[in-house]
Copies of this chain bind each other. A is one copy, B any other.
Amino acid sequence: MKILVVNPNTTASMTDKIRETALAVAAPGTEIVAVNPSDGPVSIEGHYDEAYCVPGLLCEAKKGVAAGADALVIACFDDPGLEACREVLEIPVIGICEAAMAAASMVGHGFSVVTTLPRAVPIIEALAFKYGFERQCRKVRSAEIPVLALEEEGGGAAAKVREEVLAAIEQDHAEAVLLGCAGMTDLADALTKETGVPVIDGVAAAVKFAEAMAGLGLKTCKRRAYETPRAKKYTGAFAFAAPEAGA
């Protein structure tokens, strides 16, 4: 089984960290392919960045399917481009926010999320609502750090994340804490051990759920919501991306 993990920003060091996590949890027979687009923002912080990461994500997704991927993981906690990928692919597509929330709901009654910047808070709150976890999501907390601070050694970003994780447990009575950025993927295990509360990384969760969905032989339904894009002309710079007849 081959799982394609796309980091939708263009920072290779984050892709490396994501690949490492994916490899660490993958089952024996699972091949992990972790990539990022070459075109787009170096980090995704808000809707504007999301808008410019999705075309690159879609390209990587299509390439990965051509190369035989059995499932796709979108490795950004905003789950950008989730529906667009589901339209254009038949293999299961899993967002890391979606996977982390589903996993949390199976080991605790309510969870909190610790993310990077305050501007991500309303985005993740909206995702909790979209997926139906609005009653289980106690609070979305910001560590008040930019995404790329997580790539810097010694910058104190990990300490700020830890502080909010502890606050989530003590103040929100969170029974699971989600790390709300793919760049935090390396912090989950130590925090779980320290706190005794499940601290869940979406990358790991999504890889395992992708294995599960592919193992079940499930495909995205091609009726209605995720119907294949209709063949049509795209003009100008995006002409290359136009859906083809029979696609």
Tell me the A residues contacting B by CB distance below 8 Å. 10, 25, 27-29, 37-43, 45-52, 54-56, 58, 81, 83-84, 86-88, 92-94, 98, 102-103, 105-110, 117-119, 121-123, 126, 129-136, 146, 169, 173, 175-176, 189, 192, 196-198, 200, 204-205, 208-209, 211-213, 215-227, 229-230, 232-238, 241-243
Contacts and interface: CB of A to CB of B under 8 A. Distances in A.
25 contacts: A10-B235, A37-B236, A38-B235, A42-B233, A45-B229, A45-B232, A46-B87, A46-B229, A47-B86, A49-B229, A49-B232, A51-B81, A102-B102, A103-B212, A103-B216, A107-B218, A108-B226, A121-B173, A132-B132, A132-B134, A175-B221, A175-B225, A208-B212, A208-B213, A212-B212
Contacts of A58: 48, 51
Nearest to A132: B132
Contacts of A189: 217
Given A50-B84, A107-B213, A45 B198 contact: no
A42 B175 contact: no
B110 A131 contact: no
Contact of A173 (B126, B224, B229, B235): B224
Contacts of A222: 196
Nearest to A58: B51
Given A29-B28, A216-B25, A118 B40 contact: no
A41 B232 contact: yes
Contacts of A215: 25, 27, 208, 211
B135 A107 contact: no
A194 to B, nearest CB: 14
Contact of A230 (B98, B146, B219): B146
A217 B190 CA distance: 13
Given A41-B242, A55-B52, A46 B216 contact: no
